[in-house]
Amino acid sequence: MSSMAIFNLVVFAALLGFLFQLARRDMGLSRRVLTGLLIGTVYGFYLQFVFGAGAEVTGQTIEWTNIVANGYVNLLRLIIMPLVLVMMIAAVVKVQEIRSLGKIGGLIVGLLVGTTVIAALVGIAMASIFGLNAGELAAGAAELARAEVLESRQGAIADLTFPQLLVSFISSNIFLDLTGARDTSIIAVVVFGLLIGIAALLVCEEDPEQGPRIRGFLDSAQAVIMKLVHIVMALTPYGVLALMTRVIATSDGNAIVTLIGFVVASYIAIAIMFVVHAFMIGLIGANVPDYFRRVWPVLTFAFVTRSSAATIPLTIRAQIEELNVAPPVANIAASFGATIGQNGCAGIYPAMLAVMVAPTMGVDIDLGFIASLVLIIAIGSFGIAGVGGGATAAALVVLPAMGFPVTVAALLISIEPLIDMARTALNVNGAITSGMITQRFLGAEAGGAEAAAPSHQ
């Protein structure tokens, strides 16, 4: 390892120590996460401008800082399935009536898909206003190689029918799905948790003596898993620092400048959808600035990790502890939101790509085109994996369904991480928004407080 790489790591260790001192001074988590984000950005720019994204020193530095970045992400991924399973079983047992679960799930899915339709319309508008055209994109060696990979993946994804997708939500091997082996593993674990919870609830009703033992065991398991989430959550500022360092230090600045029109259009579309979410939250009586203050650490983590799935533990915790959302609603909203109706990845992105490709295929962007595109996006938003690259998977579903080639997705590979960060934050915010609205409409029937939103006080 070079001496400059060692120097960089000493600086990085000092930055970690600074964040640790802030924690000892009882600074709030939100402020420490913001501090980690800012410090990581500055440190990443230092590596980018002093050494360069492809320099050996930068690579050696990032290899070691990734111990913190990847270690933190892996800890969260480690607890996703146990958290979803335990919390779902415990939540179902606490629901007053089994039929309430259908109302909770139906309303959440409806909100997720509904906001994805709005996101698609926003994406269409932004691509049209900015005059984005796929014919103007240049393809280098990396893009052409990526196009070949996407074309090889296209068949397996696009050929999955909607009924087959629904069947995939039911696990045939729960131990396999607990490893996250399939794109729909999270939903499969949710369904399994629902079934176990319903069975436990029926046992409690049929044998009253079993009730206290079952509920006591689930309460203890729930307390332990939430304590684990708190432990991992305390590491968020350090993880954000390391993750942001990697994002900034390894970004391709020239590619960003070349495709700046698409980047700007994407971020404006994402910002508009955040405003839509804020409007919806305001309609249920929430204090919007207070809401964003409470969920800031969650959105920050989603931003730097580009993974809705990895954010699930934080999403559940924020809803239950910060927003007073009942556990059944919080679990279903977080789990479904990571794989259904992702506003950014499954809504805005494929809509913009379709509008960009349409002129090159001689297709007019009229009402018929827009209606067909929005319908396909709504259906295709089911089962998109909440991990980095989920937007590309959505494109592989939507573009072939519209009769368009998938190569345009490969032409944007160099700026994908930059846009995917904001898209993921939007996905997670959509899940939290659906949970809050569902709690407000169902109230005590959802098994929690009657009002989910932070007060105006």
User: Is the residue at 453 inside a domain?
Assistant: no
Q: What is the mean pLDDT of residues 414-441?
A: 88
The contacts of residue 260 (CB under 8 Å, 6+ apart) are none
SS3 (DSSP) at 340: strand
Asked if the model's pLDDT at residue 10 lies above 90, the reply is: yes
pTM: 0.75
Domain that holds residue 340: 3-446
Residue 155's pLDDT is 47
Tell me the CATH number at 276.
Answer: 1.10.3860.10
Q: Confidence class of residue 188 from pLDDT cuts 50, 70 and 90?
A: confident
Asked if the model's pLDDT at residue 280 lies above 90, the reply is: yes
Residue 21's pLDDT is 93
Q: Confidence class of residue 449 from pLDDT cuts 50, 70 and 90?
A: very low
User: Is the residue at 165 inside a domain?
Assistant: yes
Asked if the model's pLDDT at residue 452 lies above 70, the reply is: no
Residue 383's pLDDT is 63
Asked if the model's pLDDT at residue 134 lies above 90, the reply is: no
Lowest mean pLDDT across 108-122, 335-349, 396-410, 438-452:
438-452
Residue 319's pLDDT is 92
User: Is the residue at 452 inside a domain?
Assistant: no
Asked if the model's pLDDT at residue 455 lies above 50, the reply is: no
Asked if the model's pLDDT at residue 286 lies above 80, the reply is: yes
Residue 147's pLDDT is 47
Asked if the model's pLDDT at residue 165 lies above 60, the reply is: yes
The contacts of residue 334 (CB under 8 Å, 6+ apart) are 84, 312, 315, 316, 319, 431, 432, 435
CA distance 281 to 278: 5
Helix, strand, coil abundance in the chain, percent, nearest 5: 80, 0, 20
Q: What is the mean pLDDT of residues 280-301?
A: 92
What does the angle CA 429 – CA 431 – CA 436 come to, to the nearest 5 degrees?
A: 90
Asked if the model's pLDDT at residue 430 lies above 90, the reply is: yes
Residue 269's pLDDT is 95
Q: What is the mean pLDDT of residues 378-388?
A: 70
Asked if the model's pLDDT at residue 287 lies above 60, the reply is: yes
pLDDT tens, 217-248?
988 988 888 888 888 888 888 988 998 898 88
Residue 87's pLDDT is 79
Asked if the model's pLDDT at residue 453 lies above 50, the reply is: no
pLDDT tens, 394-424?
887 788 888 887 776 666 766 777 788 899 9
Distances (CA, A) of 285 to 215, 291, 319, 440, 453: 33, 11, 16, 9, 7
User: Is the residue at 456 inside a domain?
Assistant: no
Q: Confidence class of residue 118 from pLDDT cuts 50, 70 and 90?
A: very high
Residue 159's pLDDT is 56
Residue 161's pLDDT is 64
Mean pLDDT score of the chain, rounded to an integer? 82
Choose between 8 and 136: higher pLDDT: 8
How many domains is the chain built from? 1
Residue 43's pLDDT is 94
Q: Which residue, among 11, 76, 4, 3, has the nearest Cα to 40 in the 3D structure?
A: 11
